[in-house]
Amino acid sequence: MGHPYIPSDLSLPDYVPGSLSPFTIVAVYVLSSLFVATTIWLISGRFPRVSTTERWLMCWWAFTGLTHIVLEGYFAFSPQFYKDTTPCYLSEVWKEYSKGDSRYAARDAGVVTVEGITAVLEGPASLLLVYAIAKRAAYREVLQLAISLGQLYGTAVYFITAILEGDNFASSTYHYFAYYVFANSFWILIPSLIIVRSWKKICAATEAQVQKKAKAL
Amino acid sequence: MGHPYIPSDLSLPDYVPGSLSPFTIVAVYVLSSLFVATTIWLISGRFPRVSTTERWLMCWWAFTGLTHIVLEGYFAFSPQFYKDTTPCYLSEVWKEYSKGDSRYAARDAGVVTVEGITAVLEGPASLLLVYAIAKRAAYREVLQLAISLGQLYGTAVYFITAILEGDNFASSTYHYFAYYVFANSFWILIPSLIIVRSWKKICAATEAQVQKKAKAL
């Protein structure tokens, strides 16, 4: 049985087409993400010292952490997802996403490596941040910076390897822009904003400490 | 003409063997690195507020920054280095190093991507740190953390992609351990130590700022 991916000579023996519609797959993801974000938003309101920006950040870290662990974690450790005969939501996600980037179905080493690092390290660390921001832990800024840098590095490796390998992995222009470009753009934009914010906060804290020491002399 | 790399069926048309001995290549690298480190050590002694640890760090950042820019920068932008007929030191380095990891000669997309990011972003940022530490700039801890995280992420991608692709790229056990394992181990060990140090310093600064604000209330 043929597969819908590009390049069309990609060998995927025993490929089983997905049975959920793209609309259903995206709707389940969006709705469950909104449910998670709403829950975190409501809970975070009970911490009086957490600012509005920090409440948004807690929602982001819960959303991105669960995406890393559940979706990307499933992919990283399921080399045969494209053979799945059951309408399992997680294999359906990656059967559909591979239309935007067939390197997922083809098990490209660079993609699997980045997804593995993201799922195993950045996922749990993102969830830890939800707690760290609520508790105003001293490490909350440096951990936000560290994970966001990791997300940016991973996205850079993801796009640059694709370009070096010919950038011909999408089934159509629509899939190229909707899945490969648009869906990933959030993990460039939001980490960049967080890096700028945390960087400034860390420098301000270092500066304040230097001035305190200078005064003490 | 055949090449000395593994897998032996790797196609490298017009390959020209290196003409410098491995000893010469390593000696030039070690001696020029020692020259750079000694120069930075002597200059850094003229900054009275820079601690001994920070002087060592300045030597490291100068050494690693020049390695990233000169050696790795040459590799990232020289896809045909293995055809070089002149005894150019930089092409000789990579002809020799490819005996430890033939993905360099084979132009593996993951390796080129990591080396490109390292050369273009981390190299100049490392040299900036030599200045930032000497001037005690407020961003010096966060920049050390950021670059060290990037170095660790790059090394992780480097090793994990090799394992996923079969870990069979070394011409001999000697080259595997001397080039691939030993030479890279410095970029796991030293960034890890710097991350722990900068992380603690940033948390201490954040903590101090929080206590100062609490006192002010």
Q: Write down the ipTM of this complex.
A: 0.95
What is the per-residue pLDDT across A166-198, written as a single tens digit (0 to 9) for each? 999 999 999 999 999 999 999 999 999 999 999
For residues A97 and A179, is the Cβ–Cβ distance under 8 A? yes
- Whole-angstrom distance, CA of residue B125 vs CA of residue B136: 15
CB pairs under 8 A between A and B: 113
pLDDT in tens, chain A (217 residues): 589 999 999 999 999 999 999 999 999 999 999 999 999 999 999 999 999 999 999 999 999 999 999 999 999 999 999 999 988 999 999 999 999 999 999 999 999 999 999 999 999 999 999 999 999 999 999 999 999 999 999 999 999 999 999 999 999 999 999 999 999 999 999 999 999 999 999 999 988 877 777 777 6
pTM, to two decimals = 0.96
B47: helix, strand or coil: coil
- Whole-angstrom distance, CA of residue A125 vs CA of residue B109: 28
> Which two three-digit tokens encode residue B39?
């120069």
Spatial CA neighbour of B27 closest among B105, B126, B96: B96
Q: Provide CB contacts within 8 A for B110, sequence distance 6+.
A: A109, A110, A113, A157, A161, B103, B157, B158, B161
- Whole-angstrom distance, CA of residue B112 vs CA of residue B104: 8
CA dihedral B156, B162, B168, B172 (to 10 degrees): -30
- What confidence score (pLDDT) does residue B204 get? 94
The H or E element containing residue A154 is: helix A140-164
- What confidence score (pLDDT) does residue B185 get? 98
User: Closest partner residue to B206 among A112, A138, A150, by Cβ?
Assistant: A138
What is the end-to-end Cα distance of chain B in Å, rounded? Answer: 77
> Which two three-digit tokens encode residue B192?
């890890």
Chunked mean pLDDT (size 10), chain B, 217 residues: 90 94 97 98 96 98 98 97 93 97 98 98 98 96 98 98 97 98 98 98 88 74
- What confidence score (pLDDT) does residue A209 get? 78
- Whole-angstrom distance, CA of residue B8 vs CA of residue B182: 23
What is the per-residue pLDDT across B34-79, written as a single tens digit (0 to 9) for each? 999 999 999 999 999 999 999 999 999 999 999 999 999 999 999 9
Spatial CA neighbour of A213 closest among B128, B147, B144, B212: B212
Q: What are the chain A neighbours of B204 within 8 Å (beta carbons)?
A: 138, 209
What is the end-to-end Cα distance of chain A in Å, rounded? Answer: 77
- Whole-angstrom distance, CA of residue A140 vs CA of residue A150: 15
- What confidence score (pLDDT) does residue A217 get? 66
Candidates A153, A159, A169, partner chain B, best to mutate (most B CBs within 10 A): A153
Q: What are the chain B neighbours of A109 within 8 Å (beta carbons)?
A: 110, 160-161, 164-165
- What confidence score (pLDDT) does residue B210 get? 74
Cβ within 8 Å, pair B117-A209: no
- What confidence score (pLDDT) does residue B91 get? 97
Cβ within 8 Å, pair B204-A207: no
Looking at the complex, report in whole angstroms how far the Cα of residue A198 sits from the nearest Cα belonging to chain B: 10
Q: Which residue has the tokens 């940016």?
A: A152
Q: Residues B158-197, buried b or exposed e (16+ Cβ, 10 A)?
A: bbbbbebbeeebbbeeebbebbbeeebeebeebbeebbeb
